Amino acid sequence: METNEEATAIKDIIIRAVEQNPQNSEILKAFEPVIIMQRHLAAQSSSKNLDCSLIDKEKLRAGVPVISQINLFLPEESFKEITLSMASAVKEGMPQLTENIDKISGLIQEGKINPADYFKESAGSETKATEGLNKDLKISPSNASFLMSLVSRVVLERRAKEITAALGAFDWEKGYCPICGEFPSIALIEEEGGKRFLHCSSCGQDWRFTRVSCPYCEKEALEGMDYFYVENKTQEAAFVCDKCKKYLITLYRAGKVFTRDMDISAINLIHMDIIMQGKGYEPMSICAWNVLG
């Protein structure tokens, strides 16, 4: 029951997004079953809790994210179940990947691939782990990495919720994510008060960050001068930094009329990604939807 309500809520958000930017309807529809499945799986808890007492708030204050303090991918995690569920959602939204995804699912079911191995070596060498799988089993490397990045988000989102619940309030002043260390995919600026919030698409975490510096290189930015807008769309912008040449898609929120999903908002602003990358800027974080050939 709860799952259906959750899915309906996401579908409604996507309907509104398509109304705003009809040109993005195809990609939004492709990601719909993927996001519904991710939110559904992330709402369940992991079989074993992290030892959050090992997280040092002083280190957080100094800018050391949780992922550099404790292991977020415990071997007890149900990687296999999560991977197979995500595989079926990918096939639903992106039927052109069916053949490759079926091949991967088959190998997992036969026990020839163990999704847990992908996370075992983690901490920076994720690509290495999939490279091995690809070489031995002849599966498409990009499809395997895409699938595992979706699985990673589910696991990290569960952990982000668990960690924030255990830690309570903590100081964090960096432009990268306090949980997983990734840079943001999108920012939200509240019209009232003008606070800027950054969103991490790798784990779903949101955090507040100063408006006067670049989240990527920390260069001080002059408010208002470093944003790029598209004509007639005053709520959609991109922050740009001339020092590191990165951009960050930014949304202005007028009021709280509708519930948002920041990942759907990010996907719904890919026309901004196309414009900014065309101008020679790079995204702060690579996501499945902003890698433009």
Which residues are near Zn ion by CB under 5 A? Answer: 177, 179-180, 182, 200, 202-203, 205, 214, 216-217, 219, 241, 243-244
In whole angstroms, how close is the CB of 123 to Zn ion at the nearest point? 14
In whole angstroms, how close is the CB of 215 to Zn ion at the nearest point? 8
In whole angstroms, how close is the CB of 163 to Zn ion at the nearest point? 10
In whole angstroms, how close is the CB of 168 to Zn ion at the nearest point? 18
Biggest alpha carbon distance in the chain? 56
Nearest to 118 by CA among 161, 77, 65: 77
In whole angstroms, how close is the CB of 155 to Zn ion at the nearest point? 12
Based on CB atoms, which residue is closest to Zn ion, 73 or 133? 73
Based on CB atoms, which residue is closest to Zn ion, 182 or 236? 182
Residue recorded with tokens 């195809």: 26
Based on CB atoms, which residue is closest to Zn ion, 135 or 208? 208
Based on CB atoms, which residue is closest to Zn ion, 82 or 284? 284
Based on CB atoms, which residue is closest to Zn ion, 101 or 215? 215
Based on CB atoms, which residue is closest to Zn ion, 217 or 292? 217
In whole angstroms, how close is the CB of 121 to Zn ion at the nearest point? 20
